[in-house]
Every structure is written in structure tokens, then in C-alpha cells.
Amino acid sequence: MHLMGTGLLRPSHWTLWALLCVTCTSAFYIPGYSITRYNDDQPIPLLVNKIFSDHTQLQYAYFDLPFVCPPSGRTHGGSPFGSGQSISLNLGEVLRGDRIMTSDFELAMGKDVECRSLCTRELDRSSVKWARQLIRENYVIEWILDNLPGATSFVTVDRSRKYYASGFKLGNRAISSSTGKSRFLINNHFTIVIRWKGVPEGGKTIVGFEVYPKSVTADGRKEDGCPKDVHKDQDGLELYIPRDMSKLREKYKGLSYIPEDDDDDDDGAKLKVPYTYSVYFREEPKIDWANRWDLYFTNQEEGSMTHWLAIINSLTISTVLGVTVFVIWSRTVQGDIKGRGDGAMEDRKPKGSRRKRSGEKKIENLLDNADVENDADMSSDDEALDDTSGWKLLHGDVFRVPAYSGLLAPLVGSGMQLLFMATGLLLLSCLGILNPSFRGGFVSVGMGLFVFAGLFSGYFSGRLYKTFGGTVWRKNTLITALFFPGLAFCLVLILNLFVWAQASSTAIPFSTLIGLLALWLLIQVPLVYIGSWLGYVRATPWEHPLKTNSVPRQIPPQPWYLRSPAGPLLTGLLPFAVLFIELLFVFKNLWQDKSGYYYVFGFLSAVSAVLLVTVVEVTVIATYSQLCSENYHWWWQSFVTGGSSAFWVFAYCIWFYLFKLHVTGFVSSLLFFSYSFLACAMYGLLTGTVGFLAAYAFVRRVYSGIKVD
């Protein structure tokens, strides 16, 4: 109570209240930038996109599938574009594998359609085989209507709430009661339910888009291709073409058995698949247009208690570490400076007259200008500090330029670039500017922020390089601008070759790669150059409170945690403990439930803020422990300590792959581990930079209180 009365805990109270306020934005979003109102009988375009699965990272454009109705190219509904026309996509949509095109579905506001034929597609054996494989891997289809993805509707067990899952199944897998073998049924009839609500301004707005797929046999249909009774239960259409046994016997002549997986692709047999659809419009007065995305977020709201537990866990760890830092700062560091630092030095000097003191000042000036006296000066300092130990003995070496400083400066610059990008993305997401209705916006805006942050990257890299005494600043600029972005681009390019071989829409088009290359070389590199010029030429280097001795001090034997990588790895467990609960939700939505949307950025922002505070605290404690061991090589150690939690995040990725993801296929596994490694490298650069800057500020502040006479 006394501490609270003195106001010492007020900053922590403000921090806690700020985090609580940030979490309140977890359900806030701007669902779009303009409302589209439809009048009765006004055409509504339905767009087709792609198919995707939770069991693989490979996606395919809808019209690239050989077993769906191809676009006819005809225009309808007053649209000047025919079906199969590609829709302009932003950079984020292209990178996430979207391939949005117009379709042949004819929909008009308020006009129900009992059944309408779309086409009849003839499939050969290879198409049937591929369709069976996609159904086996649980692929789902994504359509888009009024910027809403076609959804599968679910209700809770108590039937009190309804929620959506984006996409609907390509087909179903059933077990035959007679043979016990798997039967693959393709969904060839789609019941489209469009939910609308009237607005006072006039017209109707779409607040729901549901698709109910169904497999209907090709037998017993009307002349127009529609089933006789769409709503009754009927036999499904199995993806199966009887095998030509005569050709197979001739092919395997002399063998006692015929392989069951041989479909004899070249026998010319076909399977006819008729596609039909129904359309129903239903009024939904309980849902406003501004809240129409809420049904997609129901599952995330159910886990809000877990998010709060993650925040409490993060705050607990951060508070314990904060108390430790407070004790180090208030009792150890400042206490030593005030109690023994300068006083110990002054007490050992003989008390003389003012004339003697003025003579001492002249001697000091001579010593400062004579490099040959450095060794003697260092020995006299050690005698003055012979009753002290630890970090104060390093006053002549603590700011010594580290080894490979030409690499450390670009890494810190890249880390500042990533920090600016991540902060901007979280802020825009919490404000609701980045939301699911802005499809691909997260990636597009993130790429723009990364390119613009080249200014910060060049500035911090150039100024730190100047502080280290570097002279070839243009070389440092090129390393900063090309090192990390170049490695990331090369990795993406190599992975793209594997995805291209699979004919997947996940592959980045060649034109997009050229655009990314131009964005990097023609925009980001000049921005890095400008920032580096400002940081190196225009700005002054960071000043250090103490001078560095010409002869390095010998470092005594170090404890095991400073001599092996185990020390930084152990310290990385604490930031990882802050992050891992929320990380499970991120991984689930990013890798496992790609049909869902992660949109609790308020919680993620709060956890991220606590994470950075924890990284600062851990790095300060580790740096102080290292200095107390008389080890002045803290530069790289602080960077590694700050980013060491990236190792545990990657280990968490491996655990998630083995026990949660169930990914099949070499290419999908390669994509998962490669992109996980790239994300962990970015995370390590960011947190390593935060740790380095925290340790740098801590060391400068601590040693600024020491005056060496």
C-alpha cells in the first residue's frame, strides 16, 4: 500500500489499463468501404475462386479443374463481361493463391430458382482419379457473392447459435455397405441461400451467403437436366468408371491378379456429371449489414477465455521479470554507483590543496592526449577499483567495437524494418482497417509497410555503422538493402518452382515475381540508401560515456551459460512462454483452418506488447549477468538473447506439424517448414533487434554514472 501511495506503481497501472483497452478491439472491424444495395430482380454476380484443403498447402483455381463446368464466355445479368473473365486482384490476393473469375450462375435479387441446369461434364479416367484424390484430401470450394465467401452453415449443439465456415465440400467419402470399400461422391447440385435485409434508404443488402452442396445421381432426370425432385434424398453420383477387364487381362497377361489401382486411363471411357443449382432468397431481419461477418467469427469468440488466460500468463511472466530488473536497477546498479563507484575512486585520492587539485587537472589533460600512457592509466584505474568487482571493471572495454560489426548493423536495420511493419499491421488491424472484407489486404499493406520502412532500416543501420567506426557506408547500405530481402526472395523463388510443378494456384505468377523484384530493387533499395545517408552522413554517431582502452582486457573464465549456446536458448523460453498460447490460435487459423479467419488482433496486440517488454527485461538481466562476469562481449550476445525465442517457436512449428496439422505430400511439407523457417527468422530479427537496443540503452545509462579520473 505504501508503494501505491507513493505513486511508484502508476506506470504499471497505466500499462495494464492500456493493454486491457487494446483487447477490447478484438471484435471491432470495418466490414467494408461501401454498401451495395440491390433492387428486386437486379442481377447479382457470383464469382468463383479456388479450392483449398486443411490437409495440404496446395490450392487450385476453380476453373482449372477438369471436372467442373468450364466458363461458357456468354454475358448475362447486364454485365459487360462474359463468364471466365478474371477479376483484378491486389498483391495480397495473388500471393495467397486467389484466382477470382466470373461464372455462369444467374442470380437476381428476390427471384427464387427451383432448379436450373448449368452443364453436363464428361470426365475421363484421369479426371475421375484426380477428383477422388481431392475429395480424399477434404478439399472445399470457395465462391464469392457481394464480397462474402460462400459458407457452410452450422448450429451449436443446443441449437441456440448459428455460425459459418467459409467454403463448402467438393464431395463426400462414404463406405459401401455391400463391399466395405470407399465410395467417392461428387457434389453436383448446389442450393444457394442468400439472406438479405432491407435498409431505410431503399433496396436490400446481402447479409448471408450459404451454399448447401449435394450429390445427385445422373439417372432419372428431366429433359432440362434437373432432378425430378431436388429436395428428396437420392442416390449420390459416384466417381467411378467400370474397368475394361478384357484390356486389363491382355495388359497383365500371364499374371494371376490385376492391380486394383490400375484405372486404364487410355480406354476412352467417360463419366457424365450433370451440374445444377437452386437459388432461394430469405429475409434476415436480425443481422445488420455491418455485422454480417460476425457469424464467421463465432468460434473465435468462444475461445475468448483462453485469450484472456494468455494475457494473464503474459502479464505474470513480465511482472516477475520487471521486478527483477527493478531490483537490479535500483539496488545493485545505482546503489553501487552512488555508494562505491565514484566515492571509492575519490576516497583513494590524497586530500591536497586547491593548487594540487588544479595540478591534477593539468595532468589529466596530458594523460587524455597521450596514447602511450593508456596502459598506466588502466592500471591506476584498476588500483582505484581494487575493492570492486564485476561490471565496473569493464569501463574501458564495454564499448569496444564488436567482431563482425559490419554484419550486426545491417541485421539491426532489418530488424527495425520488420518492427515498423509488424507495429503498423497490428495497429491497422486493431482499428478495423485490415479485415476479412479487404481480401488480401493484410499481405498487401504489410508489403507496402515493409518497403516504406526501408528508410528506418537504412537510418538505423547507417548510424550504428558510423558508431562502430565504419568508413565504407555505401557497402553497408547495399548489405542492408540486399541481405535479408534477397535471401527471402531466393527462398520464395525456389519454393515456387516446386509449386509450379504441381500446377497449383499457390504458385506466384511470373509477372508478379517481376513486380516484386521491381518493388524491391527500384523502390526499397533507394529508400534504404536515403535512410542510410541520413543516418551516416547527416546524423552524428551515438556517443558513449566512456573511452575505450587501446589494450583489450583479459576475460576471466566464464560460467557455462556464457560459454555455450544453452544460455541464450534458456533465456528464450521466457518470451516463448508469453507467446505460445496465442500462437496456437494463429497457427490453427493460418495452417489448419484455412477456411476460417483470425480476427482477434486486439488480444494478439496485447500479447505482442507484453512479449516485447519481456524481451527487453530478459535481455537486460542477461546483459547485466554477463557484465558482472567481466565479459564485455555483450553486443552479439544481447542480439542473440533477444531473438533466441525464435528457436522455440520453430520447435513449436515442428510439434504442430507432427501432432496437429496432418499434412500429406512432400511439397506441402516443404512449404510448411520453409515458410515457418522464414517467419521464425523474421521474428528472430525483430526480437533480436529489440533486445539489442534495450541492452545498448541499459549499458549506456549504467556506465554514464561512472567518472574515471
Q: What is the rounded distance in angstroms from the CA atom of residue 200 to the CA atom of residue 180?
A: 58
Q: In what helix (H) or strand (E) does residue 282 lie, and over which residues does it extend?
A: strand 271-283
The mean pLDDT of 478-488, rounded to a whole number, is: 96
The mean pLDDT of 165-176, rounded to a whole number, is: 91
Residue showing cell 430469405: 282
For residue 380, the model assigns a pLDDT of: 42
Bigger pLDDT: 247 or 138? 138
Which of 163-177, 217-231, 454-468 has the highest mean predicted lDDT (pLDDT)?
454-468
Indicate the range of 34-43, 355-364, 679-688 predicted with least confidence.
355-364
Do 611 and 329 touch, CB atoms closer than 8 A? no
Residue 12 has pLDDT above 60, yes or no: no
Closest CA to 685 of 398, 445, 399, 422: 422
- Any idea what DSSP says for residue 38? B
Q: What is the rounded distance in angstroms from the CA atom of residue 420 to the CA atom of residue 406?
A: 22
Do 184 and 132 touch, CB atoms closer than 8 A? yes
Q: What is the dihedral of CA 552, 555, 561, 566, to 10 degrees?
A: 50
Residue 378 has pLDDT above 60, yes or no: no
Residue 153's beta-bridge partner residues? 164
Contacts of 27 (CB under 8 A, 6+ apart): 297, 301, 599, 600, 602
pLDDT band for position 338 (cuts 50, 70, 90): low
pLDDT band for position 386 (cuts 50, 70, 90): very low
Query: For residue range 494-531, what is the model confidence (pLDDT) as tens digits?
Result: 999 999 999 999 999 999 999 999 999 999 999 999 99
Phi and psi for 163 in degrees, rounded to 5? -145, 165
For residue 363, the model assigns a pLDDT of: 38
pLDDT band for position 432 (cuts 50, 70, 90): confident
pLDDT band for position 258 (cuts 50, 70, 90): low
Closest CA to 108 of 212, 194, 49: 194
* Residue % of the chain over a pLDDT of 70: 81
Phi and psi for 423 in degrees, rounded to 5? -65, -45
The mean pLDDT of 145-172, rounded to a whole number, is: 89
Residue 43's beta-bridge partner residues? 108
What is the overall mean pLDDT for the chain?
84
The mean pLDDT of 36-44, rounded to a whole number, is: 94
Strands, E assignment, 156-220: 162-166, 168-169, 171-175, 182-186, 189-198, 204-214
pLDDT band for position 34 (cuts 50, 70, 90): confident
Residue showing cell 534495450: 694
Residue 675 has pLDDT above 80, yes or no: yes
Show the cell assigned to 491. 527462398
Q: In what helix (H) or strand (E) does residue 143 lie, and over which residues does it extend?
A: strand 140-145
pLDDT band for position 314 (cuts 50, 70, 90): confident
What string of H, E and C letters represents the secondary structure of 537-569? HHCCCCCCCCCCCCCCCCCCCCCHHHHCCHHHH
Burial class (CB in 10 A: 0-12, 13-18, 19+), 658: exposed
Indicate the range of 138-142, 159-163, 448-452, 605-609 predicted with least confidence.
159-163
Indicate the range of 6-10, 19-23, 392-396, 586-590 predicted with least confidence.
6-10
Residue 377 has pLDDT above 50, yes or no: no
Buried b (16+ CB within 10 A) or exposed e, 338-355: eeebeebbeeeeeeeeee
Quote the pTM value.
Answer: 0.85
The mean pLDDT of 89-97, rounded to a whole number, is: 93
For residue 367, the model assigns a pLDDT of: 38
Q: What is the rounded distance in angstroms from the CA atom of residue 326 to the CA atom of residue 538?
A: 36
